[in-house]
Amino acid sequence: MQYSQKVLDHFMHPKNVGKMENPDATATEGSPACGDQVTVYLKVDESSHKIEDISFLSYGCASNIATASIITELAKGKTLDEAKQITWRDAMEALDGLPPVKVHCSVLAADTLQTAISNYEIAHGLKEIPNFGKETIIEELRKIIYPQVGEDIISLKMVKYVGFTDGKVLIDLNIPSFDTWRENVAEEIREHLEKYSEVKDIQINFP
Amino acid sequence: MNRIYMDNCVTSQPAPEVLKAMKPYLEEKFWFPGSFISTGEAINSALEGFRKTIALPLNAKANEIHFTSGGTLANNLAIKGLATAHSDQGNHIICSVVDYPDLLTNAAFLENSGFEVTYINADSEGFIDLAELEAAIRPETILFMTTIVNHVLGTIQPMDRIKAILDNADHKIYYHADAGQAFGKIPLDVSILGVDTMAISAHKIHAPQGIGALYVKSGTKLGQIIHGVRRIDDLQPGGLNIALIAGFARAVDLTFEDFASTQTQLRELSDYLLAQIEATIPQVELNGPRGKNRAPHNINTSIDFIEGEAITMMLDLKGITVATGSACASQGLKPNYILMAVGKNHIQSHGSMKFTLSRYNSKSEIDYLVSQLSEISTELRKRSPLFNAKK
């Protein structure tokens, strides 16, 4: 599957690209080791909680740039509560779809937006720093896309068990040994969970 | 403007003379080889001529050239054929971490089939570690294989020193070379190289896809890998496309009729390309060696802080075809294994751009490429959090 015309348009002529001076909140997700990294900057009106301005920087492929561009378009002018409803599926839809192997790019863009909003809310006393627990792990697993079909591993019922005790994460995955994407999925789970200081050890089991 | 094509290590544009040479074998001479009757004999004798043409620049004999459907099949027939034919003498094989996937996947297959494989390392420019090679040899070693010109870095392995090490062993070690990127780019004389088998491919030298050859030194025993009716070749039974073989032979003729000047032309073009990139775009580095130990058609540079799939896409939209080692452009979402094996980091691997030239490229094409690449790099760096953080 090739990129849609909308992906190409947002890649060649992205909206809201560039570093923002004095943002009210910012977030960076991903890393060069993952192959892509996105930074989102927010300016938020203090009384209405509307996103007055938003911009992004992207280190990544065409779909990474396009998904970051569209996510900023979707969030601009929305209140924080409205913007919190924006998911990677919205970004995908707004771009007329992505090749399955590129769906994780839309997850990264949506995730970065959500982290920026969360960072704003925490800094402005609108919410507490969330406790880390099994629910956090499951939320992170919802962001792991199985590249062959472009769906997350929770929806695909690939996760059989999630446990968290004394800093140790235990995950049982239902991915057979002949599956060529097995290592990619495991690696991405590690990248998503290692950023939490509460996580000391990650064990991923396969059948 | 015509598309600018600089991905010639993957495949190259068939020469018009090649297509012309193929045509009779798709029309009036559509026959298979055979004995006694004139149609079969005509093909027999044509094939003999084609074998001679291809053997000549390799300093091989015509009957040492075996046609295959491409380089990959040639590699398979040689590697599996040598390993199985000589497994009574040992079960140890040596190759390197920077070999072409044909070699590494065959090595992995043989490992699963009970052979032991030692993967020797390479230095930062992609040259294999000869001390490791020497140390890896043991009485059970039956096969060493190498990729003469690295398909990513353009590194030309020190073939004379490899030969000396293998000659120095106190028993026979069969020697297979993949010359997919070397044939038609650097001189290859099988007696100087000392190889027992060597795979070559036609579509990298301006013949169509779907034909290659395996050189097998006279007297070398190979296990039979493919079984079936003998039409053209013992090693690959069944039919082979005679027209493609005719095209292959013509492409060899054209490549070697003035080999020295073609090599010089390619070297001048790639030197010019590298000089232009280095002069125009800041913070780039060359991957692989500089100078005479690099194949004349290959330039591979990493452009820091930006990602190769995006660069490749933008160049594509400007009518330029090139390649990248970025994970995002790979089928398995992994950074290029060669770049990682020679110690490059993720940013260098994801930002690596490979330009492989042919005799059909020109300086004006390079000028256009570099001007576009420079604009694209500036634009993508403006968008990059890594570049903005460095500023």
List the Cα angle A15/A20/A23 in 5-degree steps: 120
Confidence of residue A1 (pLDDT cuts 50, 70, 90): low
**Tokens found for residue B44:** 């027999």
Q: Which residues of B253-285 are buried (b: 16+ CB within 10 A; e: fewer)?
A: bbbbeeeeebbebbbebbebbbebbeeebeebe
Give chain A's radius of gyration (CA, Å): 17
- Residue among B309, B335, B345 whose CB faces A61 most closely: B309
Is the C-alpha dihedral spanning B5, B6, B7, B13 positive or negative? positive
- Residue among A57, A62, A180 whose CB faces B384 most closely: A57
- Topology of the domain comprising B16-257: Aspartate Aminotransferase; domain 2 (3.40.640)
Q: Are A180 and B332 a contacting pair at CB < 8 A?
A: yes
Q: What are the two backbone dihedrals, phi and then psi, of residue B326, each rounded to the nearest 5 degrees?
A: -65, 145
Q: What are the two backbone dihedrals, phi and then psi, of residue B303, each rounded to the nearest 5 degrees?
A: -105, 110
Average per-residue pLDDT in chain A? 92
Distance CA A171, CA A182 (A): 13
Confidence of residue A207 (pLDDT cuts 50, 70, 90): confident
Q: Which residues of A touch B333 (CB under 8 A)?
A: 35, 101, 147, 184
Domains B16-257 and B259-380 share a fold: no
Distance CA B72, CA B180 (A): 9
Distances (CA, A) of B188 to A48, A173, B148, B155, B250: 74, 51, 10, 15, 18
- Residue among B329, B332, B347 whose CB faces A32 most closely: B347
Please give the pLDDT value at position B1: 66
Residue type at A148 in one-letter notation: Q
Q: Are B333 and A35 a contacting pair at CB < 8 A?
A: yes
Measure B84 CA to nearest chain A CA, in Å.
Answer: 26
DSSP secondary structure code for residue B302 in this structure: E
Q: Which residues of A touch B314 (CB under 8 A)?
A: 12
Distance CA A5, CA B340 (A): 34
User: Per-residue pLDDT averaged across A83-95, rounded?
Assistant: 95
- SS3 (DSSP) at B146: strand
Q: Which residues of A touch B325 (CB under 8 A)?
A: none
Minimal CA–CA distance to A140: which of A162, A113, A172, A120?
A: A162
**Tokens found for residue A21:** 């001076």
Distances (CA, A) of B122 to B88, B133, B159, B339, B348: 30, 10, 14, 11, 17
Those residues with Cβ within 8 angstroms of residue B202's Cβ, 6 or more apart along the chain or in another chain: B70, B208, B211, B212, B213, B244, B247, B248, B251
**Tokens found for residue B79:** 């590697």
- SS3 (DSSP) at B80: helix
- The answer, yes or no, to whether residue A34 has pLDDT greater than 80, is no
pLDDT in tens, B27-64: 999 998 887 899 999 999 999 999 999 999 999 999 99
Minimum Cα–Cα distance from A100: chain B residue: B331
Q: Are A37 and B350 a contacting pair at CB < 8 A?
A: no
pLDDT < 70 positions in chain B: 1, 331, 391
Measure B122 CA to nearest chain A CA, in Å.
Answer: 22
Q: C-alpha B222: how far from its chain's center?
A: 22
Q: Which residues of A touch B329 (CB under 8 A)?
A: 61
DSSP string, B27-40: TTT-PPP-SSSHHH
Whether the CB of A32 is below 8 Å from some CB of chain B: the reply is yes
Q: B259-380 — its CATH code? A: 3.90.1150.10
Distance CA B214, CA B65 (A): 6
Whether the CB of A74 is below 8 Å from some CB of chain B: the reply is no
User: CB burial class (10 A; 0-12, 13-18, 19+) of residue A156?
Assistant: middle
Minimum Cα–Cα distance from B383: chain A residue: A57
Whether the CB of A40 is below 8 Å from some CB of chain B: the reply is no
Helices A182-194 and A134-141, axial angle in degrees (round to 10): 130
Residue B95 among the catalytic residues: no
Whether the CB of A4 is below 8 Å from some CB of chain B: the reply is no
List the Cα angle B24/B27/B28 in 5-degree steps: 80
Pair B386, B346: CB distance under 8 Å:
no
Please give the pLDDT value at position A148: 86
User: CB burial class (10 A; 0-12, 13-18, 19+) of residue B366?
Assistant: buried
Domain residue ranges of chain B, discontinuous segments joined by +: 16-257, 259-380
Distance CA B36, CA B66 (A): 23
* Other beta carbons within 10 Å of B56: 15
DSSP secondary structure code for residue B11 in this structure: -
Measure B283 CA to nearest chain A CA, in Å.
Answer: 16
Q: Which residues of B touch A29 (CB under 8 A)?
A: none
Q: Which residues of A touch B386 (CB under 8 A)?
A: 32, 37, 59
Minimum Cα–Cα distance from B382: chain A residue: A18
Measure B331 CA to nearest chain A CA, in Å.
Answer: 8
DSSP secondary structure code for residue A46 in this structure: T
Ordered by where they begin, the domains of chain A are: 5-123 (3.90.1010.10), 134-205 (3.30.300.130)
- Residue among B313, B382, B385 whose CB faces A11 most closely: B313
Please give the pLDDT value at position A31: 85
Those residues with Cβ within 8 angstroms of residue A42's Cβ, 6 or more apart along the chain or in another chain: A23, A24, A25, A26, A51, A53, A54, A116, A117, A120
Number of residues in chain B:
391
Place of tokens 């043989």: B110
DSSP string, B331-389: TTS---HHHHHTT--HHHHHTEEEEE--TT--HHHHHHHHHHHHHHHHHHHHH-HHHHH
Whether the CB of B388 is below 8 Å from some CB of chain A: the reply is yes
- Residue among A14, A28, A62 whose CB faces B309 most closely: A62
Best of A5, A16, A56, A61 to mutate (most B CBs within 10 Å, chain B): A61
Distance CA B294, CA B317 (A): 30
Q: What are the two backbone dihedrals, phi and then psi, of residue B120, each rounded to the nearest 5 degrees?
A: -85, 155
Q: Which residues of B touch A17 (CB under 8 A)?
A: 382-383
Task: Respond yes or no on whether ipTM tops 0.90.
Answer: no
Distance CA B266, CA A68 (A): 41
